[in-house]
């Protein structure tokens, strides 16, 4: 499959570094979330006032594009934060294996339920960030996904050091 080292488990981070990042997460993450809410409310307030400007050709499309770009680029859990389970289980491959398996099993169950009900499958994205698989590596994510009829996404690039993007294989009857 993937013989590149970047697809393997990432090295364990030093405990003191994780502890510092955990403390900063506890202190700064609520401020981060508050900032996201304030910016979102600012978009809503501007959108209400700017309703008058929708007579200008292209204004509405540009404003919606700006909101989409903001939503795509801002993460609720930034890469710098460390949660308590991550602090406690750094380097524990079984913990990360269980996280990956749980995420893929959840997506698979939703997909199968939609197929059984003859409905459209739930929309993606089906991304697994590095915080979910760092102890087992991106290669394990791909192996676990293939066992459940998932594969790497062709239209969205996966970066094994940041995120693995998956898609469900088409169903054949």
Q: What angle do CA 23, 91, 77 make, to 5 degrees?
A: 45
CB-facing half-sphere around the CA of 103: CA atoms within 13 A? 25
pLDDT at 99: 95
Mean per-residue pLDDT, 137-141: 93
Q: Write down the pLDDT at residue 6.
A: 81
**What local confidence, expressed as pLDDT, does residue 70 receive?**
87
Question: What's the chain's Rg over C-alpha atoms?
Answer: 20
* Nearest to 80, CA basis, from 168, 13, 152, 158: 13
Per the prediction, the chain carries an average pLDDT of: 88
pLDDT for 85? 93
| Size of the chain in residues | 173
> What is the value of pTM for the model shown?
0.78
* pLDDT band for position 103 (cuts 50, 70, 90): very high
Task: Give yes or no for residue 173 having a pLDDT over 60.
Answer: no
Is residue 128 helix, strand or coil? Answer: strand
């Amino acid at each position: 499959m993937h013989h590149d080292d970047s697809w393997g488990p990432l090295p364990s981070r030093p405990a003191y570094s994780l502890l510092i990042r955990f403390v900063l997460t506890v202190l700064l993450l609520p401020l981060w979330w508050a900032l996201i809410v304030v910016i979102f409310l600012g978009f809503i307030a501007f959108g209400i006032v700017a309703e008058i400007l929708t007579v200008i050709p292209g204004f509405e499309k540009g404003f919606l594009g700006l909101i989409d770009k903001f939503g795509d680029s801002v993460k609720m859990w930034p890469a710098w934060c460390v949660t308590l389970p991550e602090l406690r289980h750094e380097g524990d491959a079984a913990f990360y294996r269980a996280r990956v398996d749980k995420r893929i099993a959840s997506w698979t169950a939703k997909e199968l339920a939609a197929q059984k009900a003859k409905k459209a499958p739930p929309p993606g994205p089906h991304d697994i960030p590095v915080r979910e698989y760092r102890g087992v590596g991106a290669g394990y994510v791909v192996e676990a996904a293939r066992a459940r009829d998932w594969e790497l996404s062709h239209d969205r690039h996966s970066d094994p050091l940041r995120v693995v993007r998956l898609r469900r294989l088409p169903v054949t009857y």
